[in-house]
Amino acid sequence: MMKLAKAGFQIALFVRDMKSALDFYQDTLGLESKGRDENYTLGAAIHLKCGDSSLLLIEPETKTPAGPSWVHAQMGFRYVVFFVENLSEICEKLQEKKVKFTIHETKITSQLRIAMIQDPDGNNIQFIERR
C-alpha cells in the first residue's frame, strides 16, 4: 500500500504553446507560478501551485498532435477537477474572456453545481461547487 509523502499530487500537462497556457492558467484561472523546472529534459516546464497540488505545464521540444477533446472519446485521464467556492463568479469571468464551455454552469442537486471548460489546447477542466 502507498504511503504518501505529501497531501497533494502533480498533474503533467503537455501544451502546444507555453505563453498561451500561462495566459490561461495564471491570468484566467489565477494559478500561481512556482517557477521553471530547469531539470526537465523534454522541453520547457513550469510548475503552477494548486492548493497542496501542482500543475506541471510542459511545452515539448517535439510537438505531437492533440488527442480527442471530449471526455467520452478515449480511455484514460480526461479532465482535471477544481473544487471551488465561487462557481458563478468564475463562470462569469470565463464567459467575459470567451473561454469555451463544454458544460455551462449546471445545478446537479440542491448542493452541487458544476461547469466544464476547455483550455487553449482543448483539455477539459471541470469546476465543482458543493454547498
Residues 80 and 111 in one domain: yes
| Total number of domains constituting the chain | 2
Residues of the chain with pLDDT under 50: none
Residues 99 and 117 in one domain: yes
If we measure between CA atoms, which residue out of 50, 54, 52 comes closest to residue 12?
A: 54
pLDDT of residue 67: 65
The tens digit of pLDDT for each residue in 71-97 reads: 555 666 778 899 999 999 999 999 999
36 part of a folded domain: yes
Q: CA-to-CA distance for 125 and 77, rounded, in angstroms? A: 11
112 part of a folded domain: yes
Q: CA-to-CA distance for 66 and 22, rounded, in angstroms? A: 18
pLDDT of residue 82: 93
Q: Residue 119: give its domain's CATH number.
A: 3.10.180.10
CA atoms in the 13 A half-sphere facing the CB of 10: 13
Q: CA-to-CA distance for 25 and 82, rounded, in angstroms? A: 12
